[in-house]
Amino acid sequence: MRSPLKFFPLKIVVAALLILALLIPQSLLAQSSQESGSSEAGQSKEEVYPKKVQPRAAWEYIVNIPGYILYFPFWLIYSAAMPIIGWVEKSNVMPRVQDFLESDDGKRVAYPTGETQYGMGVTYQQKDLFSPNCTLTATGMVGLNWRRMLQFELARYRLGGPFTFNLGAQYLMLTDANFYGIGNDSLKENRHTFAHRQPGVWLGGGLDLGKKLTLLVTFRAEANSISAGRSSRYDSITDLSPELLEYLPGFYDKADFFISKFELRHDSLNRLGAKPGGWLIFLNTSLYNQMNGDAYDFYRARLDITHFQHLFYSRSFVVRAAAEVARPLREGEVPFYYWSKLGDRRTIRGYSRGRYRDRDSVLFSVEYRYPLLKRPGHLPSLQAALFIDTGKVAYDLFAEPFLKNYHTSIGGGFRFFNQQGLNLQVLVARSRDGWRFYLVLNE
């Protein structure tokens, strides 16, 4: 019988081999996983800390030159704007400007303004400045083709009793004023443009006569300069033949005028009541005396009557009639840019500015206004309107049949407004010339 001790070393060897057989694959597996982990860690490390990119070749810089040129203006604007933006934020200049332009009591306000003729701009107004109802107003507007209007006015400064005082200054520059011809037969296809520069200053006063009646006397100095139109779509008036331009008094001459204007005004409108209505009547005459010659001495007279009739449920009916005449004094003439003009939102909506020109004019308008949305306070209300405009020009309004040669348009629009002064009008009108759109903001 064999002793068990003889087989002991063999059993140990077999057991050791079995253990090694089990441990070696585990160790290999662990090693492989460790290597894969280390490789992933290295890869992630490389992703977090990328290797340095090799510098571009010279040909790559040459290819990118057009991109550098296109990018440079944006980089320049950004580099210049960032310090300014940072200074504005740190200095709180915008809140300071707002506090300067607007007051909590509403007497000092600044608001955007705009209309189709001169473009968009800003109006600053100071109410009750030196006396009750005394208003300081400054307006600046800029439009297409560099049209611009700048105006400063101090109005209704009370001198004592019923007397008030006004003064102001204005700069007007219309770079593309329209000229289609003279009279009611002018054609749409004959549209030309001219530039009209007109700076002026004025001084005047008013006398309250009672019963909503006021007498206004204003003395004004005005300069005029005509040059070639700057419209890119239409030819300039300077392209017309000299024979035709001879029919336009004042085209070749710079005329400066001293103007004396006398006006009687009746204003009985109930603007803030529950039933708005009343009359608005202007009757004025202006004497134009040329300061640098005597070829263009003349006078203009104008009558404008508007009646607002309240109907029911905040609906109203507006009827307007207006007429204007111009006549030379002695042997003078009336410059063509002072002739009556029909064809804008203040005369016949649906025609372009200056569509019809002559010395005299007459116009009528009927408008129906009705509310769509009425809300109190600063919340905007909405009003709709339908209108019909008609009118004509004439060399002598009293020397031709009154009921002939009228031009008519129809249209409508919307008005957004509130009690804080918001007044936005969007109008569209149709005439035989086509459609015209009007946008008016806080005018």
Q: What is the pLDDT of residues 149-185, one digit of tens each?
A: 999 999 999 888 889 999 999 999 999 999 999 999 9
Residue 191: strand, helix, or coil: coil
Q: Between 193 and 417, whose confidence is greater? A: 193
Which span out of 58-62, 196-200, 247-251, 374-378 was modeled with the highest average pLDDT? 196-200
Helix (H) or strand (E) holding 71: helix 65-91
Q: What is the reported pLDDT for 155?
A: 93
Residue 247 has pLDDT above 50, yes or no: yes
pLDDT band at 441; cut points 50, 70, 90? confident
Q: What is the mean pLDDT of residues 135-140?
A: 95
Q: What is the reported pLDDT for 25?
A: 45
To which residue do tokens 């263009």 refer?
296
User: Over pLDDT 70: what percentage of the chain?
Assistant: 81
Q: What is the reported pLDDT for 56?
A: 61
Instruction: Write out pLDDT tens, residues 175-225.
Output: 999 999 999 999 999 999 999 999 999 999 999 998 899 999 999 999 999
Instruction: Write out pLDDT tens, residues 301-354.
Output: 999 999 999 888 888 999 999 999 999 998 889 999 999 999 988 999 999 999
Instruction: Write out pLDDT tens, residues 38-81.
Output: 444 444 444 445 555 556 667 766 767 777 787 777 778 878 87
What gap in Å lies between CA 390 and CA 358, rounded to an integer?
Answer: 16
Mean pLDDT estimate for the chain: 84
Q: What is the reported pLDDT for 30?
A: 46
Judge whether 293 and 223 are in contact, CB under 8 Å: no
Q: What is the reported pLDDT for 93?
A: 63
Q: What is the reported pLDDT for 52?
A: 55
Judge whether 412 and 86 are in contact, CB under 8 Å: no
Q: What is the reported pLDDT for 4?
A: 41
Residue 435 has pLDDT above 80, yes or no: yes
Q: What is the reported pLDDT for 245?
A: 85
Q: What is the reported pLDDT for 271?
A: 66
Domains assigned to the chain: 94-441 (2.40.160.50)
CB atoms within 10 A of CB 442: 18
What gap in Å lies between CA 369 and CA 428, rounded to an integer?
Answer: 15
Query: Which runs of consecutive H residues, i.e. helices, occur in 201-359?
Result: 242-245
What gap in Å lies between CA 224 and CA 335, rounded to an integer?
Answer: 10
Q: What is the reported pLDDT for 44?
A: 46
What gap in Å lies between CA 357 and CA 343, rounded to an integer?
Answer: 9
pLDDT band at 269; cut points 50, 70, 90? confident
What gap in Å lies between CA 295 and CA 54, rounded to an integer?
Answer: 81
- What six digits make up the tokens of 68? 């550098």
Q: What is the mean pLDDT of residues 126-144?
A: 91
Helix (H) or strand (E) holding 312: none
DSSP-derived letter for residue 26 is H
What gap in Å lies between CA 66 and CA 349, rounded to an integer?
Answer: 50
Q: What is the mean pLDDT of residues 77-100?
A: 71
* CA 429-113-282 angle, 5° bins: 65
Q: What is the mean pLDDT of residues 29-40?
A: 48
State the SS3 of 184-204.
CCCCHHHCEEEEEEEEEEEEE
pLDDT band at 381; cut points 50, 70, 90? confident
Q: Write down the pTM of the prediction.
A: 0.76
DSSP-derived letter for residue 310 is E
Instruction: Write out pLDDT tens, residues 16-27.
Output: 544 544 444 444
Q: What is the reported pLDDT for 97?
A: 64
Which DSSP string corresponds to 258-282?
EEEEEEEEEE---SSSSS--EEEEE
What gap in Å lies between CA 273 and CA 308, rounded to an integer?
Answer: 13
DSSP-derived letter for residue 237 is G
